[in-house]
Amino acid sequence: GGPASLSRFRGALVAAVLGDCVGGEFEGAQEVPMERVLQHLNSLDDETKGTGILEYSDDTAMARCVAQSLLTRAGFDDQDMARRFAKEYSASPGRGYGTGVIQVLKKLSSPQLSDVYQPARDQFNGRGSFGNGGAMRAAPFALAFPDIADVKRCARLGAKLTHSCSLGYNGAVLQALAVHLSLQGALDLPQQFIGRLITEMEELEADEVARHDARILKEAEKPFCERLYRVRDLMDRSKISVEEVISELGNGIAALHSVPTAIFCVLHCLQPRECLPESYGGVERTIAYSLALGGDTDTIACMAGAIAGAHYGISAIPQTWIKCCEGAEDADMSAERLHMLYHQSSQGG
Ligand code: F2R
Ligand code: MG
Ligand code: MG
């Protein structure tokens, strides 16, 4: 489809859910041989193997809250979104949430709470979380707003409800920007795509708070930019080992160690790769490759899935995978509604 087509919207939200559901199998594993990944993915195609339904985790649970809030309120409403996060957690606490964020979600359910951003500010002795929980749920922001300034502002505020450290919320903004650009067809020119992300992050990371957080955490002066420069170097290489990707970009639970990695997975899998079946299309390649990196597989595959799905569209996603993953059909319906909201906004309606 063309820029911002319905197919791209559906691809983004559905592939994010698939990445989360299929990635759950390997979350936290140090080494994941590609053979195991392919076995797992093949079992989705084979009804006789009876994989059953793969459940979604916190990544999708929170992204559903974001999408539902944006749709119901026809825009960003921090009180409504915070209430939905708290309600979802209390209804289904066993979705594999991060150990820190649970405290925030409990506090957000208090009727006495006057500032919905305060619980997140109190995390980690006032330093805030740098986890990837803001980024893993950021895709719907890109699908709700046509204007890039709105995408950046709302992704940042939406992440700040749980992640007040700039290394947490800037990861969410980066993820939302990657989906936003991909929806416009920007991955047709990969060098320009990464260049654009670097330019945007250069501006965001010039902020005094971001520089302060980077200093305290002993990171590079502009940590996301530094990682994106590494992505740009690695994407030009025809061969690169999984070990090198992990050591250069990371595969962990911090936004800094996972959002640039997810972006790399998408860029690396724009072409067929020797290690992956020839029959695979771009979304399958991207998700399979993300899982083979090990570490925070559900979240890296979820974020890479959203960016790749926005590029290739819904037709690149196997129906057999959709049928195996809890929440994939719901995501498809939300994508249709977000597509309407996006186009109403772009017409000034
Ligand atoms: N948490 C998981 N998976 C592991 C365990 C699952 C569960 N216990 C089970 O066995 O079922 N996955 C999910 O968590 C990630 C998103 O986490 P989020 O929302 O960012 O949470 P949190 O708690 O804010 O941060 C995660 C951890 O990062 C470290 N951390 C963050 N900020 C820190 C800081 N300022 N100082 C020190 N450490 C900090 C902490 O270890 C946090 O617990 C996704 O992978 C999702 O799939
Ligand atoms: Mg998860
Ligand atoms: Mg995870």
The alpha carbon of 250 and the centre of ligand 3 are apart by a number of angstroms equal to 13
Average pLDDT, integer, range 329-348: 93
pLDDT in tens, 233-247: 999 898 999 999 999
pLDDT in tens, 276-320: 999 999 999 999 999 999 999 999 999 999 999 999 999 999 999
Cα 188-132-293 angle, rounded to 5 deg: 65
Instruction: Indicate the pTM of the whole model.
Output: 0.98
The alpha carbon of 21 and the centre of ligand 2 are apart by a number of angstroms equal to 9
The answer to whether residue 180 scores a pLDDT higher than 80 is yes
Residue 134 near residue 63, CB atoms below 8 Å? no
Residue 165 Cβ inside 6 Å of ligand 1? The answer reads yes
Pocket test for ligand 1, best of 99, 160, 258 (most atoms within 8 A of CB): 99
Mean pLDDT for the chain overall = 96
Q: Which atom of ligand 1 is nearest to the CA of 127?
A: 35
The answer to whether residue 349 scores a pLDDT higher than 70 is no
Res 137: pLDDT? 99
How confident is residue 333, by pLDDT bands cut at 50, 70 and 90?
Answer: very high
Positive/negative CA dihedral, 225, 217, 151, 58: positive
Q: Which residue has the higher pLDDT, 199 or 46?
A: 199
The alpha carbon of 216 and the centre of ligand 3 are apart by a number of angstroms equal to 25
CB contact burial 114-147 (16+ within 10 A = b; e otherwise): eebeebbeebeeeebbbbbbbbbbbbbbbbbbbe
The alpha carbon of 128 and the centre of ligand 2 are apart by a number of angstroms equal to 19
The answer to whether residue 260 scores a pLDDT higher than 70 is yes
Residue 288 near residue 280, CB atoms below 8 Å? yes
Please tell me the distance from the alpha carbon of residue 243 to that of residue 253, in angstroms, as a whole number.
Answer: 17
CB contact burial 50-79 (16+ within 10 A = b; e otherwise): ebeebbbbbbbbbbbbbbbbbbeeeebebe
Residues with CB under 5 A from ligand 2 (ion): 57-59, 96, 298
| Burial status of residue 41 (CB atoms within 10 A of its CB: 0-12, 13-18, 19 or more) | buried
Average pLDDT, integer, range 182-190: 98
Please tell me the distance from the alpha carbon of residue 152 to that of residue 118, in angstroms, as a whole number.
Answer: 21
Residue 99 Cβ inside 6 Å of ligand 1? The answer reads yes
Q: Which atom of ligand 1 is nearest to the CA of 128?
A: 35
pLDDT in tens, 199-258: 999 999 999 999 999 999 999 999 999 999 999 999 989 899 999 999 999 999 999 999
Going by C-alpha positions, the residue among 235, 261, 232 that lies closest to residue 246 is 261
Residue 258 Cβ inside 6 Å of ligand 1? The answer reads no
Residue 101 Cβ inside 6 Å of ligand 1? The answer reads yes
Q: Which atom of ligand 1 is nearest to the CA of 162?
A: 24
pLDDT in tens, 69-102: 999 999 999 999 999 999 999 999 999 999 999 9
Please tell me the distance from the alpha carbon of residue 70 to that of residue 349, in angstroms, as a whole number.
Answer: 16
Res 307: pLDDT? 99
How confident is residue 46, by pLDDT bands cut at 50, 70 and 90?
Answer: confident
Res 48: pLDDT? 59
The alpha carbon of 345 and the centre of ligand 1 are apart by a number of angstroms equal to 35
Residue 251 Cβ inside 6 Å of ligand 1? The answer reads no
3-state secondary structure of 171: helix
Going by C-alpha positions, the residue among 254, 223, 218 that lies closest to residue 130 is 254
CA 344 to chain CA centroid, Å, is: 25
pLDDT in tens, 99-141: 999 999 999 999 999 999 999 999 999 999 999 999 999 999 9
Give φ, ψ of 257 to 5 degrees: -100, 10
Residue 253 Cβ inside 6 Å of ligand 1? The answer reads yes
How confident is residue 325, by pLDDT bands cut at 50, 70 and 90?
Answer: very high
Res 236: pLDDT? 84
Going by CA atoms, what residue is nearest to atom 21 of ligand 1? 98
What is the predicted ipTM? Answer: 0.96
